[in-house]
């Protein structure tokens, strides 16, 4: 043993002896100060260890923790001494848990000893305060493991006011876990043991439920449900790099869903999530909603894990085929599911495998056999904000998926969800998506969707005419209306003024030009003017305000690019298609104006 080790251990023995004398003597003020000094001394050692000071070694940390464990476990040690030391030692020893596996083991033993010997309500407060007090550089998984292990044990020992005690504990635990998982910049951190301890706490909460009845057990199960959903989301975020280990934890957490009366259909539509959230938070200012910030993501993930791995659905006692069938046959629930899945598609740092499973699940539920007409859905407008935000989330999958197959599946899902929206709102949703997109490529895709909707509508009308069917379609329920030209103008003459930026927005501009050309040709050959595109006023406006300024812009961009050969090649690749369609549009408009 080195001289430095001897010195540190000797100081620890002296400090413990001083605390003992003062506590036994009943000198409360001085004894409290002495115990606080003991905590400061231990903290200085753990600080030095993390700072890698040469005189402080991992072996010294193990010796120090072992000495503390032996001292507090002395059979003849008075209870009043143990109670006094409990205010500092669990918090202090937890800081050593990140030093080594052996330190973690001994620190966990020290905390568990205090849980066994001290009053459970006091220890609950002590452990929660210890959890809240840890900060960088000790804001790491291993430092919380001894404290969460102690909490799992102390919860089952509480005899009175069980729900209130658990309600106070859960937000503290979740706040720390959420902060670590969502703000961590260290992808190599191992969260497995930490989440197993978090799952142990869920087991303890379920265990104490047998002591409750009536409204209290209802609230406890709701609180447990929120806790499990939040942990499910955090497990999926924090252990993204190890999907097999992640699944094992999800299986453990899925076992609680049925106990909390949570079903896959209720989770995916959000109704049961809203119900338990309202029951726990409601008007209760003591429970902060931010500690449950990921429960909707957790609800969606719980179902997607069951879709991905049948054993997860089995653990949740869920009939997944029945869930799929119900969603396929019910528009409202299907649309609610889209609203919940958006949390999965837009979730940062989630494994792409889970997001891709979400897209596959969405494709399944959109393959329903429900027959309806647009007029059957008079109340659909209340769901449009959900459908809009859901489509925005799917857009992110289209743009950022790591491979072409995933992007293709996401686009297929986007089109199916879009087709599920009744025509009166489909056009408005597309326009809103275009207005709120900053991606030229995405705007181009959305405008192409508008063009395809118009093409299909025209085909349907022509088929009805051929069949001698008397079908009248109101402009308000049709894509063929004057608003579609406003959409073209939005791109070719942006609301903020001036022509569009090229070549950056060449994809959007090309799609807008193609849409304008399609409308112009279709209305001309069909002897119709539903969009108003053939009026002299509209043709002149398009010619003077959209097409000619755009021609000047394209010509200027081409001329400027020729100064640099490499830039010219890149610019021309983007502008050549635009130039070709632009000149064709100009020719068509000039031809029309000649005959007016």
Within 10 angstroms of residue 60's Cβ, the number of other Cβ atoms is: 22
pLDDT (tens digit, 9 = 90+) per residue, 318-332?
999 999 999 999 989
pLDDT at residue 363, rounded to an integer: 96
pLDDT at residue 375, rounded to an integer: 43
pLDDT at residue 374, rounded to an integer: 44
pLDDT at residue 422, rounded to an integer: 87
pLDDT at residue 378, rounded to an integer: 46
Q: What angle do CA 220, 225, 228 make, to 5 degrees?
A: 125
pLDDT at residue 461, rounded to an integer: 78
Which segments of 86-119 does DSSP mark as H helices, in order? 89-94, 101-117
Residue 377 pLDDT level (bands cut at 50, 70, 90): very low
Pairwise pLDDT comparison (526 vs 469), residue with the higher score = 526
- What tokens does 98 get? 């990140």
Taking Cα atoms as reference points, which of 61, 50, 53 lies closest to residue 137?
50
Which segments of 401-547 does DSSP mark as H helices, in order? 404-419, 423-435, 440-466, 483-492, 506-525, 536-541
Residue 483 pLDDT level (bands cut at 50, 70, 90): very high
The mean pLDDT of 238-251, rounded to a whole number, is 92
Pairwise pLDDT comparison (530 vs 6), residue with the higher score = 530
Give the rounded distance of the alpha carbon of 430 from its chain centre. Answer: 24
Residue 412 has pLDDT above 70, yes or no: yes
Residue 305 has pLDDT above 90, yes or no: yes
Residue 496 has pLDDT above 90, yes or no: no
The Cα 235–Cα 128 span in angstroms is 21
Do residues 15 and 89 touch, judged by C-beta distance below 8 A? no
Query: To the nearest whole number, what is the mean pLDDT of the chain?
Result: 88
Q: Which of 112-116, 126-130, 282-286 has the lowest mean pLDDT?
A: 282-286
pLDDT (tens digit, 9 = 90+) per residue, 536-586?
999 999 999 999 999 998 888 777 666 665 555 656 676 888 989 999 999
Which segments of 156-242 does DSSP mark as H helices, in order? 162-183, 192-208, 215-238
Q: Which of 4-18, 245-259, 435-449 has the lowest mean pLDDT?
A: 4-18
Taking Cα atoms as reference points, which of 362, 346, 438, 356 lies closest to residue 405?
356
pLDDT at residue 66, rounded to an integer: 94
pLDDT at residue 116, rounded to an integer: 94
The mean pLDDT of 27-55, rounded to a whole number, is 84
Residues 6+ away with beta carbon under 8 Å from 402: 352
pLDDT at residue 24, rounded to an integer: 86
Q: What angle do CA 333, 338, 340 make, to 5 degrees?
A: 95
Residue 341 has pLDDT above 60, yes or no: yes
Q: What are phi and psi of 61, to 5 degrees?
A: -60, -45
Question: Is the model's pTM score more than 0.85?
Answer: yes
- What tokens does 354 get? 């889970």
The mean pLDDT of 420-431, rounded to a whole number, is 90
The mean pLDDT of 105-128, rounded to a whole number, is 94
The Cα 364–Cα 97 span in angstroms is 47
Specify the 3-state DSSP secondary structure of 330.
coil
**DSSP state, 543?**
I
Do residues 511 and 443 touch, judged by C-beta distance below 8 A? yes
Residue 449 has pLDDT above 50, yes or no: yes
């Amino acid at each position: 043993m080195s001289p430095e080790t001897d010195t540190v251990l000797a100081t620890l023995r002296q400090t413990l002896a001083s605390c003992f004398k003062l506590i036994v003597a009943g000198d409360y003020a001085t004894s409290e100060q002495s115990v606080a000094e003991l905590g400061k001394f231990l903290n200085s050692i753990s600080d030095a260890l993390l700072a890698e000071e040469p005189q402080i070694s991992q072996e010294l940390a193990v010796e120090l923790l072992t000495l503390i464990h032996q001292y507090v476990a002395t059979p003849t040690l008075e209870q009043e001494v143990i109670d006094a030391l409990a205010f500092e030692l669990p918090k202090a020893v937890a800081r050593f848990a990140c030093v080594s596996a052996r330190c973690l083991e001994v620190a966990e033993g020290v905390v568990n000893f205090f849980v066994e010997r001290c009053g459970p309500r006091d220890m609950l407060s002590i452990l929660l305060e210890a959890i809240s007090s840890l900060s960088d550089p000790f804001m790491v998984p291993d430092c919380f493991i001894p404290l969460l292990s102690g909490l799992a044990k102390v919860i089952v020992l509480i005899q009175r006011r069980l729900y209130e005690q658990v309600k106070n504990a859960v937000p503290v635990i979740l706040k720390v876990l959420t902060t670590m998982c969502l703000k961590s910049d260290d992808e190599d951190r191992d969260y497995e043991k930490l989440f197993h301890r978090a799952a142990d706490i869920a087991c303890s909460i379920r265990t104490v439920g047998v002591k409750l009845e009536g409204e209290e057990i209802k609230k406890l199960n709701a609180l447990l449900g929120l806790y499990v959903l939040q942990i499910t989301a955090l497990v999926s975020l924090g252990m993204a790099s190890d999907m097999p280990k992640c699944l094992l934890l999800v299986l453990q957490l899925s076992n609680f869903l049925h106990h909390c009366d949570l079903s896959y259909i209720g989770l995916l539509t959000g109704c049961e999530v809203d119900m338990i959230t309202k029951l726990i938070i409601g008007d209760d200012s003591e429970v902060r909603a931010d500690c449950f910030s990921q429960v909707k993501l957790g609800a969606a993930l719980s179902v997607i894990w069951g879709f991905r791995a049948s054993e997860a659905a089995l653990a949740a006692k869920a009939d997944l085929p029945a869930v799929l069938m119900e969603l396929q046959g019910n528009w409202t629930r299907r649309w609610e599911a889209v609203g919940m899945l958006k949390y999965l598609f837009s979730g940062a740092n989630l494994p792409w495998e889970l997001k891709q499973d979400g897209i596959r699940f969405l494709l399944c539920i959109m393959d329903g056999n429900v027959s309806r007409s647009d007029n059957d859905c008079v109340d659909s407008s209340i769901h449009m904000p959900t459908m809009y935000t859901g489509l925005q989330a799917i857009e992110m999958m289209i743009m950022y998926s790591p491979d072409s197959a995933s992007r293709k599946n996401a686009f297929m899902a986007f089109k199916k969800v879009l087709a599920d929206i009744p025509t009166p709102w489909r056009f408005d949703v597309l326009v809103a998506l275009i207005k709120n997109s900053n991606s030229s490529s995405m705007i181009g895709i959305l405008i192409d969707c508008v063009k395809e909707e118009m093409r299909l509508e025209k085909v349907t009308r022509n088929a009805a005419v051929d069949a001698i069917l008397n079908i009248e379609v109101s402009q308000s329920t049709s894509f063929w209306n004057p608003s579609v030209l406003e959409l073209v103008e939005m791109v070719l003459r942006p609301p903020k003024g001036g022509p569009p930026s090229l070549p950056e927005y060449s994809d959007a501009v090309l799609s807008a030009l193609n849409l304008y050309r399609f409308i112009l040709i279709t209305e001309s050959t069909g002897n119709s003017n539903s969009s108003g595109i053939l009026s002299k006023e509209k043709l002149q406006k398009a010619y003077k305000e959209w097409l000619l300024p755009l021609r000047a812009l394209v010509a200027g961009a081409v001329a400027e690019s020729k100064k640099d050969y490499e830039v010219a090649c890149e610019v021309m690749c983007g502008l050549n298609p635009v130039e070709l369609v632009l000149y064709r549009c100009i020719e068509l408009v000039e031809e029309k104006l000649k005959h007016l």
